[in-house]
Structure 1
């Protein structure tokens, strides 16, 4: 069973994929990267309001900070490359995940958050890696290349937290 199947099978909330398949086309990349960042920031702001676990709180603040930076990097790169991008919007599956997170309470919310973050970051890593390797605009490729290690760091942090939230810390 692959990692996504295991996540779905063990998740309190089974969510559809957050985004379309990773792309090498600039407008699609900008849209997907923006929606991913918006989801990360929105869900993290929600969790910060109630989370008791210090690691979750620290991670959520890191998400707000780092994904605000990556949104700005992608927007600046898009402008440099002449790609017109509107403001980021949540995709329907992301909006459902936000609603599911809102419905969860206490420690369950923290568990749902970590599981959703794992899925979102796996997809973000695939998106940025794919674009960094084969994207069609140079400034956006450079931005994606710089974002990849940040997303990988987030995944590493999540893997460390995932065991803690499923075993009751």
Structure 2
């Protein structure tokens, strides 16, 4: 009986350790997205959709006001950047489709849904940092050398927004209670 209990506790702790250690950031955008319109629009849309969906989960699961405020801001801002990208894509003669999550982002979302209350904020913020770093690099790169003027303008407009999100995520990770 004692051996079974010890083994059960060890297995439970091992599962907790793996879950606590896991932090699956969404995959970075493909290199072509940094200069070509179609991959850029797709990558920007996927990035925004991940931010919106992950933040909706944060609004449900986080009990930390500063994290919830951050999530609310991300939802609002990324809805706007998605709309601006779609308008710019249409100006460039494209017919953009609504964004979908890629496999990496879907795995990140699944990880957030599975995260326990004690780990949620840490996992959410750990995903936000690399996601925003990748998004910042995407918008900066496309804004500098993208092949469509309307999309370059939209990408350049997204840079300060994403940069402010990255700064806020870094502050929150350092102090989740009042990092913003």
1:135-154 alignment runs, 5 A limit: 135-154=146-165
1:17 aligns with 2:42: no
Unaligned runs of 5+ in 1: 1-9
1:36 aligns with 2:47: yes
Q: Is the 8 A contact 2:139 2:159 kept in 1?
A: yes
Give 1:48 deviation, angstroms: 0.2
Give 1:109 deviation, angstroms: 1.1
Alignment partner, residue 159 of structure 1: 170
Equivalenced residues, count: 157
Structure 1 pair 15/64, CA: closer, same or farther in 2 (3 Å)? closer
Q: Which runs of 4+ in 1 moved over 3 A?
A: none
The two structures have a TM-score, normalised by structure 1, of 0.88
Give 1:107 deviation, angstroms: 3.0
Instruction: Give me the CA root mean square deviation.
Output: 1.7
Structure of higher CA gyration radius: 2
Give 1:83 deviation, angstroms: 1.6
1:101-140 deviations in Å (ceiling 9; x for gaps): 1110113111110010111100000000000000000110
Q: Is the 8 A contact 1:81 1:140 kept in 2?
A: yes
1:14-163 alignment runs, 5 A limit: 14-15=24-25, 17-21=27-31, 22-163=33-174
Determine the C-alpha separation between the residues in 2 that align with 1:16 and 1:94: 4
The two structures have a TM-score, normalised by structure 2, of 0.83
Determine the C-alpha separation between the residues in 2 that align with 1:39 and 1:143: 19
Q: Is the 8 A contact 1:19 1:91 kept in 2?
A: no
Q: Is the 8 A contact 1:80 1:139 kept in 2?
A: yes
Determine the C-alpha separation between the residues in 1 that align with 2:152 and 2:128: 24
